Amino acid sequence: MQRLEHRACFGGWQDVYRHHSRVLDCEMTVGVYFPPQAQQGPCPVLYWLSGLTCSEQNFITKAGAQRYAAEHGIILVAPDTSPRGPQVADAEGYDLGQGAGFYLNASQQPWAGHYRMYDYIVHELPAWVEADPAASDVRGICGHSMGGHGALTIALKNPDRYRSVSAFSPIVAPSQVPWGQKAFAAYLGDDRAAWRAHDTVELVKLGIARQLPLLVDQGDADEFLDSQLRPELLRQACEATAHPLTLRLQPGYDHSYYFIASFIGEHIAWHAAALRGE
């Protein structure tokens, strides 16, 4: 493990680390914010999953989340969005390959050897984080766009591992929109049953035994709203299954980090209450 950055921030420290991932078989970078409370004992951890083309840098430099994490005593962990490196398969375009891991385990070549972001996020990364005595095993998860898809599906598939989940502008029905269809066909092949296992709307329809409440913010001026995000499909699925959902359409907001920065404080407060068991 190598610490690349160590910066004082709101009484705590914003670090960036590089470590070798056994699951992904490559070097990965991870942003970790330690609030001042971490000096006194273990703090709960909120995992942030970023969207297409992003790395850990987008969230830690643009969202302004550290202020609220310091207020509530929460460690923020922001990993990269995919495996990286010259030995890792890639593709032309921004929506497949490096920067577009989609938080699943690829079964198809040439992706299967490295693209195992689901296992990395659910198992390897928390084990690495929680080896630090500053971090507890009390977890929440949140994300944006592709990362919102990842946060929702991972939490729904692992409700006993996470106490809270929220998302900004998530791809809620990837099986029904171009971004998801392209990635799923490449990473998972033609088996639609495999697609459903990584589709928030389909998972909600299954009726998970322990229903984690979902908080979703979506800008109504988002350029991807109607073509890629389709939040109405999530609302319909939750209404049909009585799954608790708070879906807020925010007037005038787009898909950018200006939107995230405007509401990240409310999301961290939501997670803080759940992580405290309230």
Residues taking part in catalysis: 145, 222, 255
* Of residues 230, 256, 100, the one with CA closest to residue 172: 230
**Any residues with CB less than 8 A from the CB of 270 and at least 6 apart, and which?**
164, 166, 215
Distances (CA, A) of 258 to 10, 183, 218, 255: 20, 27, 12, 8
Are the C-beta atoms of 215 and 166 separated by less than 8 Å?
A: yes
Sheet-wide strand order for 2-9? 2-9, 12-21, 26-34, 75-79, 43-49, 135-144, 164-168, 214-219, 245-250
The CA distance from 255 to 220, in Å, is: 9
The span from the CA of 87 to the CA of 262, in Å, is 38
Q: Token match 């630090």: residue?
A: 132
